[in-house]
A and B are shown apart, each in its own frame.
Chain A
């Protein structure tokens, strides 16, 4: 639901841009090396290659290739951030703040620092950068900024919020590529990859495409079974444990 909303809004946004630069035509063509990351039992993280080309309109100015910003984000979830304080010598959770719809993974790649590519307003509007995501709360409280910083700090430490200012490489004036690393702890779910083409600080073109991270193989089977037949799953888990204990005992029986 949310991903479609997001895609629709981006699509509408991209449509709005077109009339301003009618002569530019659809100037951006991009793709990903894979739209589906399968998480199997030996999953240790993976790299995806995003690549594309800036078509036409470049003949006017062959010396410059413009700027590319790539963002990969997903799956959005509501968070509950707690803060500890010392109470009678013991550290205990004293405050809790809810933060709505924060992506479990956010990667940003560009060919140079994004602050040089576009102005603050544009970057804020497109939510480019961990600190420019939408941080909203039902009851933010006075110290909301500290809670926001905690999310960015911890997600960055876990390599779930990544910013790479040299992540996009140009091959000549038209072709570009970027490698996005998904760590082993990347959450499964629906993702969106967004590619923005800027020229002299103006957003010329934007493209989004969906990306899915799913469990496959034995792990998927176990996960589905545990969720669809929880009681049966529990009984099987107990029976497996009984058998394992009995086998071990039988194997190690000396007499």
Chain B
């Protein structure tokens, strides 16, 4: 059943859009990532203009994250204090990232840069997660109990402005989550995603937060980052397609609910293994597209969209 999208200005198949929303929503609920790194490429593949895909994807992520956060909230899996500190860094970072994006755009090659940063970041994070989760899976299969030191001390722990995060069972410098939020904010502005797929592993491996709290807290932070992106795009480019966003939302929020429930059935290392696999899959596809000879070497755009 075709439906005409008013801002994207094309007709798309209603069920294809609903299916995509549902599938991405499922993953978002399962892993606590916004799913933007899947949604945006999928929308572009459907023929929706990249600018509309990025802006509308952000709008849809707001809904998916809210629905996910509420589900995690009831289980007490959201560290509000940590989320707020991350968010402050994120807002400053996304402002800075938007500034970088504008400079790169006027220099041309912004598409290539987006693809390259996707490949690099997805590749690094996917490989790290796959490695760690595989070790953890093998350990648990052998029946060994993963022995984790209660307090591992890095240089990180010597930083000033220490704060106590009760939910995360951490006593670390506030500079750490602030800096992390800032960096992810930059990346999300450049790559047009919520940044969950970077945030989640960083919270686990860099901050040392428990996996159970990480997902809810990451979703909490993503709500505000994506809402910010939606507003900025709506004002600057008028590329938020509300009809498309509503379609994606209606199926994604349902998918996210199932994802959250499914996530409760799986162990942390299994979840991380699955996420690592999907991240590497998307990375591989993007890397392949960069080296594959394109079907048509020429691409047509409007002068006004330059």
Contacts and interface: CB of A to CB of B under 8 A. Distances in A.
Interface of A: 39-45, 77-86, 89-93, 96, 98, 146-147, 150-151, 153-155, 184-185, 187-188, 215, 218-220, 222-223, 226-227, 230-231, 233-238, 240-242, 244-249, 252-253, 255
B301 A80 contact: yes
15 contacts: A79-B301, A81-B298, A90-B116, A92-B109, A151-B298, A222-B243, A223-B6, A231-B231, A234-B233, A244-B63, A244-B253, A247-B253, A249-B67, A249-B257, A252-B254
A39 B4 contact: yes
B152 to A, nearest CB: 36
A222 B108 CA distance: 31
B243 A42 contact: no
Given A77-B304, A240-B242, 5 more contacts: A80-B302, A184-B11, A188-B9, A238-B230, A240-B245
A43 B11 contact: yes
A241 B60 contact: yes
A91 B291 contact: yes
Given A82-B301, A151-B300, A242-B63, A219 B112 contact: no
A253 B301 CA distance: 46
Nearest to B303: A78
Contacts of B293: 86, 91
A44 B12 CA distance: 9
Contact of A147 (B242, B298, B305): B298
Nearest to B256: A248
Interface of B: 2-7, 9-11, 59-60, 62-68, 70-71, 74, 108-109, 111-112, 116, 227, 230-236, 238, 240, 242-243, 245-246, 249-250, 253-254, 256-257, 290-294, 296-306
Contacts of A39: 4
A244 to B, nearest CB: 4
Majority SS at the chain B contact face: helix
A255 B242 CA distance: 32
Contact of A92 (B67, B74, B112): B112
A56 to B, nearest CB: 44
Contact of B302 (A77, A96, A151, A246): A77
B229 to A, nearest CB: 10
Given A42-B3, A92-B109, A153-B296, A245 B303 contact: no
Task: Sort A-B residue pairs by CB-CB distance and give the 3 closest, nearest first.
Answer: A245-B66, A234-B234, A248-B253
Nearest to B47: A185
Contact of A226 (B7, B63, B253): B7
A154 B6 CA distance: 23
Contact of B230 (A79, A218, A237, A245): A237
B67 A245 contact: yes
A226 B238 contact: yes
Contacts of B116: 90
B94 to A, nearest CB: 15
Contacts of B249: 240-241, 244-245
A246 B256 CA distance: 12
A241 B62 contact: yes
A237 B7 CA distance: 13
Contacts of B245: 237, 240-241
A154 B253 contact: no
Contacts of B306: 80
Contact of B65 (A40, A85, A245): A245
Contact of B296 (A93, A150, A220): A150
A247 B64 CA distance: 11
A254 B305 CA distance: 47
Contacts of A230: 234-236, 238
Contacts of B300: 79-81, 150-151, 154-155
A220 B66 contact: no
Given A90-B112, A150-B300, A41 B243 contact: yes
A91 B303 contact: no
Contacts of B5: 219
B259 to A, nearest CB: 11
Nearest to A231: B235
B254 A248 contact: yes
B70 A235 contact: no
Contacts of A92: 109, 112
B33 to A, nearest CB: 16
B231 A238 contact: yes
B296 A154 contact: yes
Contact of A90 (B227, B290, B298): B290
Nearest to B12: A184
A231 B67 contact: no
Contacts of B304: 77-78
B62 to A, nearest CB: 4
Listed residue (A93, A227, A230, A249) with the most chain B CB atoms within 10 angstroms of its CB:
A249
Contacts of B302: 77-80
